Homo-oligomer: A and B are copies of this chain.
Amino acid sequence: MSRAEADIPAPDPALLEELVVANRILAQQQVVDAFGHISVRHPRDSGLYLMARHLAPGLVTAEDIVIFDLDSNPLRNLAPRYYSERYIHGEIYKLRPEVHSVVHCHARPLIPFGAAKGVQLQPIYHMSAFLGRGVPVFEIREAGGMTDMLVRTAELGRELGMTLGELPVVLMRGHGATMVGGSIKEAVYRAIYTAENAVLQMEAMRLGDVEFLAREEAELATAYMGTTFERAWAHWKRLAT
C-alpha cells in the first residue's frame, strides 16, 4: 500500500509549524507528558496524515514530522522509530472523513474516568459542551483479550474507531483517551477541555448531585464555542512557546 516518496505532496510549512505548536501546547497544558501524540490529515491528500516520529511532544520540531498513509506506513521524512500507536490515527482517518486532526493522550484527569466503573464523563459547563452526546469507554479486552494495553495494530485501531463512532472523544480503560476534530485547533481545544471537565466533575460529584448541561444546552453551546478556537489558541500558544 505504501507509495514512492516522490508521489507525496510536500507539507506546507505553516501547517508543520501549527502542528509543532500543537505539540508544545499539549505538553505545556499537561494533556501529554513524554507520551501521547497529535496528527493532522494532509490538506492536499486525504489519504495521508502528518505526525512526529517517536519523540516526546514537548521536543518536537518541524524536522521531526513524518508523513504516513492511512495504513500508518511512513512515506516521507523517514525516522529510526515511530509511535507504536500510530494506528489510532490512521484508522480513525479512514472511518471519519470529516476528521482532520487526532489527539491521543494519557491526561491525568481522564485515567480515573476510564478505570472506575459506573461513572460517566458528562459536560458540566459550556466549555466542554461537546461531550454532551456521550463519552464511550474503549475496553481493549473486548477487542483483543489480554494485551499490553496499546493500540499497536490496525485491527485494534479500527476497533477503537468503532467505539468512538461519530463522537468527539473516547476514553480507553487502563490507558488514556483519544479526541478528534475538524482542525488541529479544534482537536487541541477538545483535548484540553475534556481534561478540564474531568477535574471539575470529580470535584462536583463530591459536593452533591450534579446538574450537567441538558442535551439541548450542550448542542447550543457547542455551536457557539466553535467560533472561539482562535482566541484560545493564541492564549495557549503564548504560554507554550
A contact set with B: CB distance below 8 Å:
33-35, 54-56, 58-59, 84, 106, 108-109, 111-113, 115-119, 124-127, 129, 141, 146-150, 173-176, 196, 199-200, 202-214, 216-217, 220-221, 223-224, 228, 231-232, 234-236, 238-239
Interface residue from B58, B117, B214, B216 paired with A211 (Cβ < 8 Å): B117
A-B contact sample (12 more), CB < 8 A, given A58-B235, A84-B224, A112-B200:
A33-B232, A33-B235, A34-B231, A106-B125, A111-B124, A118-B208, A126-B148, A148-B221, A148-B224, A149-B217, A149-B220, A205-B207
* Contact between B148 and A217, CB atoms less than 8 A apart: yes
Residues of B within 8 A of A236 (CB): 34
Residues of B within 8 A of A124 (CB): 111-112, 115, 174
* Known contacts A127-B35, A147-B217; A115 and B211 CB within 8 A of each other: yes
* Known contacts A34-B235, A106-B125, A127-B106; A149 and B213 CB within 8 A of each other: yes
* Distance to closest chain B CB from A84 (angstroms): 8
* Contact between A117 and B209, CB atoms less than 8 A apart: yes
* Known contacts A220-B146, A221-B148, A232-B35; A125 and B129 CB within 8 A of each other: no
* Contact between A196 and B112, CB atoms less than 8 A apart: no
* Contact between B235 and A56, CB atoms less than 8 A apart: yes
Residues of B within 8 A of A200 (CB): 108, 111-112, 115
